[in-house]
Amino acid sequence: MASLRTLLLAGIACTTLVAPLAVSQPVVAQVQVASATATRYIGEREISRRIADMVKQRNGGRPVEIFFHGMGNELEVPASTAAFQVEDFSFDTRSGRFYGTVASTAASIKVSGRAQAVESIPVLKNRITAGQVISRNDVEWLQVPANRYGAGFIDRFDDLIGQTPRRALAAGMPIRAADIGKPEVITKNSLVTMVVQAPGLTITTTGRAMESGSIGDVVQVMNPQSKRTIQATVTGTNLVQVITAPSIIASN
Task: Map residue 11 onto helix, strand or coil.
Answer: helix
For residue 147, is it left (φ>0), alpha (ψ between -120 and 50) or beta?
Answer: left
- Kindly indicate the confidence band of residue 144, based on its pLDDT and cuts at 50, 70 and 90: very high
CB 122 within 8 A of CB 134: no
Separation between Cα atoms, residue 58 and residue 61, nearest integer Å: 7
Q: Which pLDDT belongs to residue 89? A: 95
Cα atoms in the 13 Å half-sphere on the side-chain side of 172: 0
**Topology of domain 185-242, CATH:** SH3 type barrels. (2.30.30)
Most confident of 15-19, 24-28, 148-152: 148-152
Span 80-106, average pLDDT: 90
Most confident of 145-149, 200-204, 231-235: 231-235
- Is it the case that residue 156 has pLDDT exceeding 90? yes
Cα atoms in the 13 Å half-sphere on the side-chain side of 137: 0
**Topology of domain 119-181, CATH:** Type Iii Antifreeze Protein Isoform Hplc 12 (3.90.1210)
In 125-223, where does DSSP find H-type helix?
none
pLDDT tens digits, 182-195: 999 999 999 999 99
Separation between Cα atoms, residue 167 and residue 179, nearest integer Å: 7
CB 205 within 8 A of CB 194: yes
Q: Which pLDDT belongs to residue 9? A: 47
Specify the DSSP element, H or E, that contains 182. Answer: none
pTM reported for the whole predicted model: 0.59
Task: Map residue 1 onto helix, strand or coil.
Answer: coil
Q: Dihedral sign for Cα 129, 132, 138, 139, please.
A: positive
Higher pLDDT, 156 or 40: 156
Q: Where are the domains positioned within the chain?
A: 40-116, 119-181, 185-242
122: phi then psi, degrees, rounded to nearest 5: -80, 135
Separation between Cα atoms, residue 193 and residue 241, nearest integer Å: 9
- Kindly indicate the confidence band of residue 160, based on its pLDDT and cuts at 50, 70 and 90: very high
Higher pLDDT, 126 or 24: 126
Separation between Cα atoms, residue 5 and residue 157, nearest integer Å: 123
pLDDT tens digits, 127-136: 999 989 999 9
Which residues is 65 bridged to in the sheet? Answer: 116
- Kindly indicate the confidence band of residue 35, based on its pLDDT and cuts at 50, 70 and 90: very low
pLDDT tens digits, 42-56: 889 999 999 999 999
123: phi then psi, degrees, rounded to nearest 5: -135, 170
Span 232-249, average pLDDT: 80
Q: Which pLDDT belongs to residue 11? A: 53
